[in-house]
Structures are given as C-alpha cells and as structure tokens.
Amino acid sequence: VMSNMFGDILSDAAANLAGSLGMLPSASLGERHALYEPCHGSAPDIAGQDRANPVASILSVGMLCRYSLERPELDEAIHRAVEATL
C-alpha cells in the first residue's frame, strides 16, 4: 500500500516482470471504499476488436475477495485457475 505516484512507478516495474501491464490487477484502497480494476484501465482503444485479455480483470476480482471481502481463499482459487488456464 502506497501513494498513487509510487504505485505507478512500482506497477511499471512489475509489468516488466509479468510480461505486460495487461496482466496486472490494481486496487485503490480508501478508508471506507475500494476500487479494483486492471492496471491498464478499461482499454477503450481496443474495444470491439476481440483483442482484450481478461486476466487482469479476473485477478482484480481476486484482490477484491482478499482485501474487501476478507476471503483470501477465493483469491487463491482464482490465481490457481488463471495459472491452470495459462
């Protein structure tokens, strides 16, 4: 957990490890609310082109399960499913 600026720097570095920013989930955590989304956002530039990779969106749901719903076992199951699929 860190400020947005440092989070952006770290996510860019992590993208190199993951192979693509399109594979990384993201969370903006507040005191009462949280927003979960792919690091790349909604990617409107590729909408309707049958090119979108849903992995980051799916992993974002895992983060929601872990941090907002306090169900880390669901996050782990989602990660296992993604790994098995890839």
Query: Is the pLDDT reported for residue 40 higher than 70?
Result: yes
pLDDT class for 50, splitting at 50, 70, 90? very high
| Residue that has been written with the tokens 């309707």 in this structure | 48
Q: Is 27 exposed, middle or buried (0-12, 13-18, 19+ CB in 10 A)?
A: middle
Bigger pLDDT: 5 or 56?
56
For residues 27-46, give the mean pLDDT.
88
What's the pLDDT score for residue 41?
81
User: By the 8 A CB rule, do 56 and 23 touch?
Assistant: yes
The pTM for the full model equals: 0.80
